[in-house]
Amino acid sequence: QLQLQESGPGLVKPSETLSLTCTVSGGSISSSSHYWGWIRQPPGKGLEWIGSTYYNGRTLYTSSLESRVAMSADTSKNQFSLKVNSVTAADTAVYYCARHLLLGDNPDYFDAWGQGMLVTVSS
């Protein structure tokens, strides 16, 4: 059974870089049928897609965060990661990693999610 687990610091200082890793078990991130994505949810608010990565290094980012975000995949560890630089309090959120199906040229809906991890930006 596929499982995704987010890990990383739960507290990040303003202006620093938020770094999270998603470890995948029960499946391979080298799958040609899937993309791997990050979604965040500020406390009490809705869901925001941040971006997604493919095993070959292809990445897609939402336009509002593109200048501050980087994602990558490490197939040897079956992990993928997220970095958001120059964080502010507005980046405080629960961060989810998730799997997309890839049925065409671009990733589709999310069919599996990690449990989520709260990251707080505060000094």
Partner 1 sequence: DIQMTQSPSTLSASVGDRVTITCRASQSIDIWLAWYQQKPGKAPNLLIYKASSLESGVPSRFSGSGSGTEFTLTISSLQPDDFATYYCQQYITYHTFGQGTKLEIK
Binding string to partner 1 for residues 45 to 84, with x set by CB under 8 A, is what? -xxxx--x-------x-xx---------------------
Least Å from the CB of residue 104 to partner 1: 10
**120 touches partner 1 by CB under 8 A:** no
d(CA 58, CA 106): 11
Q: 17 vs 41, which CB is nearer to partner 1?
A: 41
**19 touches partner 1 by CB under 8 A:** no
DSSP state for residue 122 in the 8-state scheme: -
Q: Which residues pair with 107 in a beta bridge?
A: none
CA-based nearest residue to 31, from 77, 75, 92 = 75
Residues 6+ apart with CB under 8 A from 3: 24, 25, 26, 114
> Of 10-18, 22-30, 70-78, 112-120, which part binds partner 1 (CB under 8 A)?
112-120
**15 touches partner 1 by CB under 8 A:** no
- Beta strands at 117-121 and 110-113: parallel, antiparallel or unpaired: unpaired
**107 touches partner 1 by CB under 8 A:** yes
φ/ψ (deg, to 5) at 68: -120, 0
Helix (H, G, I), strand (E, B) or coil at 74: strand
Q: 25 vs 106, which CB is nearer to partner 1?
A: 106
Interface residues with partner 1 (CB under 8 A) are 37, 46-49, 52, 60, 62-63, 96, 98, 100, 106-111, 113-116
